[in-house]
Amino acid sequence: MKKVFFLLLLSTLLISACTEETTIRNDKQNQIVSEASKEAGPKHNVKSFEEFPLEGVIDGDTIKIEYNGSTEKVRLLLVDTPETNHPSLGEQPFGQDAKEFTKQLLKDKKTVYLEFDVSYRDKYKRLLAYVYTDEGINIQEELLKNGLARVAYIYEPNTKHVDWFETVQRTAQQQAIGIWSVENYVTDRGFRKEVFNSNGENNNKSQCNIKGNINAKGAKIYHLPGQQNYEDVKAEELFCSVVEAENAGFKAAER
């Protein structure tokens, strides 16, 4: 009887420890996403756009609104984020990051502002729009800026902001952040999950270029390509994404 009780107690402790570890990891991810969303900008004038009640976030590039009395899906124009629950593709790396990022940007928002292009719907009958918060933050711009989306699905006549978005994307590519931190992950046709191993880690680890360094005071700092003195930094550990670096306890270099 004592043996059975001991085994039950041990199982309970193990489950509790695993749950706590998962909670800490998820909280850390949400904190990273939240901090990134606080730096959103610049702000845009939304006075000429249409305002609609927000009902929820489906994934990084799709939300739900109330439109003419019904619930409608809105697909963010000209961007594509990794999948979170695709029927054939499943969940792709950075998909949950993109979804959480969009949720943070729209957290506590009752409405969103939609800027429509020429065509209002896609072949799946979803609304197509550029999405803004009431403060004038453009969701597409922020996803691209933080390396959580690629410019995609460029179909005439809905090409109003292609040049703007491609400029933002180039900066994220140069910084090698998010989806751009893993070589060959992003393609013209989507995302290649196979460049990651079964544990979700990058198979091309040698190509990761976010440098993790521990200074003389024991502080863990990561440095992005293009930052001051990046070339002179001794890489004691390499990371493929900001999320990976911060989950390992490293903080961003100030410059």
Q: Is 126 a catalytic residue?
A: yes
Q: What is the mean pLDDT of the chain?
A: 84
Region 158-181: what's the mean pLDDT?
96
Angle, helix 95-105 to helix 2-38, in steps of 10 degrees: 60
- Which residue among 83, 141, 142, 246 is the active-site one? 83
pLDDT digits (tens, 9 = 90+) for 226-240: 777 788 888 888 887
Highest mean pLDDT among 43-47, 87-91, 108-112, 185-189: 108-112
pLDDT digits (tens, 9 = 90+) for 45-93: 999 999 999 999 999 999 999 999 999 999 999 999 999 988 888 899 9
Q: Is 121 a catalytic residue?
A: no
Q: In this structure, what are the phi and psi dihedrals at residue 202, rounded to the nearest 5 degrees?
A: -65, 125
pTM: 0.68
Region 172-188: what's the mean pLDDT?
93
Per-residue pLDDT at 41: 60
- Which residue among 126, 183, 192, 237 is the active-site one? 126
CA distance linking residue 44 with residue 141, whole number of Å: 11
Residue 207 has pLDDT above 80, yes or no: no
CB atoms within 10 A of CB 63: 26
Q: Is 150 a catalytic residue?
A: no
Pairing of strands 210-214, 190-191: unpaired
Pairing of strands 237-239, 210-214: antiparallel
